[in-house]
Amino acid sequence: MITMIAAAAENNELGKDNQLLWHLPDDFKRFKALTTAHHIIMGRKTFESFPKPLPHRTHIVITRQKDYSSEGCIVVHTIEDAITTALRADKHPFIIGGGEIYKLGLPYSQQIELTRVHASFPQADAFFPEIKLEEWELIQSTPHSEDERHKYPFTYLTYRRK
């Protein structure tokens, strides 16, 4: 089962200049818990936004650059190659972004783990694709309030393809 995992604001904003627009420690913990020991599929820019590869995960990086390489990563050039490679070794890989990779990966995904940040960020330059509710069923919704560690309230949403 291929799952897309993302945090997106009310208008599907993901970030600006390859950075998140918020800091939600509990969402980071959830991301880590869900993706650890799995293959994670991402675009090159998303990969390069990390200070170092994420521990205990196999990184599959999609890039158009034919000569791109990074130690410890699997480099591919299409979403199809990324998914085929991931599914050879992992029955539950995750697509982790960015915006263009989510768009390409949506038709292949059976589940979406979405953290909906209850705020708006007009400066955003990357967006999560629109979820067509006629194609997806919301199977779980867990709200999280704003608090001293979280500037914005958010809700964990789990969607399954109908």
Enumerate the domain spans of the chain: 3-161
Q: Which CATH number is correct for 3-161, 3.40.980.10, 3.40.430.10, 3.30.590.20, 1.10.760.10? A: 3.40.430.10
The pLDDT of residue 129 is 98
**To 10 degrees, the CA torsion angle through 101, 156, 57, 136?**
-50
Give Cα separations from 62 to 38, 131, 132, 158 (angstroms): 17, 23, 25, 25
- Other C-beta atoms lying within 10 Å of the C-beta of residue 56: 10
Contact 4, 112 (CB under 8 A): yes
Query: Which pLDDT band, with edges at 50, 70 and 90, does 34 fall under?
Result: very high
Per-residue pLDDT reduced to its tens digit, 45-90 = 999 999 999 999 999 999 999 999 999 899 999 999 999 999 999 9
Per-residue pLDDT reduced to its tens digit, 96-139 = 999 999 999 999 999 999 999 999 999 999 999 999 999 999 99
Which residue is listed with tokens 């994670």? 40
The pLDDT of residue 151 is 97
Chain mean position to CA 102: 7
